[in-house]
Homo-oligomer: A and B are copies of this chain.
Amino acid sequence: MHDDETPPPRTRGRPRGRPRDESARAEVLAAARVLLQEGGLTAVTMDRLAARTGVGKPTIYRSWPNAHAVALDALLQSAALMPAVRESAAPLMDLRKQLRKIAALFATPTGRSVALMIAAAQSETELAKVFRHRFMLASREEGRRLLARAIEAGEVRAKIDMEAALDLIYAPLFFRLLVGHGSLDRKFVDSVLDHALAGLKA
């Protein structure tokens, strides 16, 4: 997924040469997941990944540019991250459900990894962008759709600053995850959304 080599636009045919060993990639990602849990992001080192999996270091470097990239990929593969919400006829309720799911995810050990990842993603790499879009903005985009539908339904007034509104709703979640100054439970999520919507309603 974070392969550093842009495949040539070979319209047909395999790319020649021995294909990469996908099982090796999978093993590396699995090991990265274990290491993430055991010791956090800093525990995910190339040397350890290679030692645990029996995969050679150059092989890992062929698929990822550095150890953080592996960790990120491992995190992204963690299933059901930021899962899409089934959209019903009540967009604001869908929004609430989505926020609750995110909060629940952040409350698990994975949440800690995500926070560390946000931290590591500060360096301006392509990787960082991928992470931000996949993790921090994907839900926000889904929220944009839901909010638009709420406007159509007349549940939210049309004249809002969509970007500001979205940050208003999603930022508090990440803020609490990063700062840890308060709980990330359903009550908090509902309260945030209630206060935000109070200013958005028709």
| Interface secondary structure of A, over-half rule | helix
| Beta-carbon contact of B195 and A165 below 8 Å | yes
Beyond A119-B122, A181-B137, A198-B200, whether A175 also contacts B164 by CB under 8 A is no
Whole-angstrom distance between the Cβ of A144 and the nearest chain B Cβ: 12
Query: A90 → chain B, closest Cβ, in Å?
Result: 19
Instruction: State how many angstroms separate the Cβ of A166 from the closest Cβ of chain B.
Output: 9
- Shortest distance from the beta carbon of A201 to any chain B beta carbon, whole Å: 8
Whether A167 and B192, one on each chain, are in contact in the complex, defined by CB atoms closer than 8 angstroms, is yes
A119: chain B residues at CB < 8 Å are 118-122
Say yes or no for A188: interface residue by CB 8 A criterion: yes
A164 to B195, CA, bound (A): 8
Most buried by B among A115, A118, A161, A195: A195
Q: Which residue of B lies closest to A129 (CB)?
A: B180
How many Å lie between the Cα of A36 and that of B172 in the bound state?
A: 28
Are A167 and B161 closer than 8 Å at their CB atoms?
Answer: no
Across the interface, which residues of B come within 8 angstroms of A178, CB to CB? 118, 122, 136, 174, 178
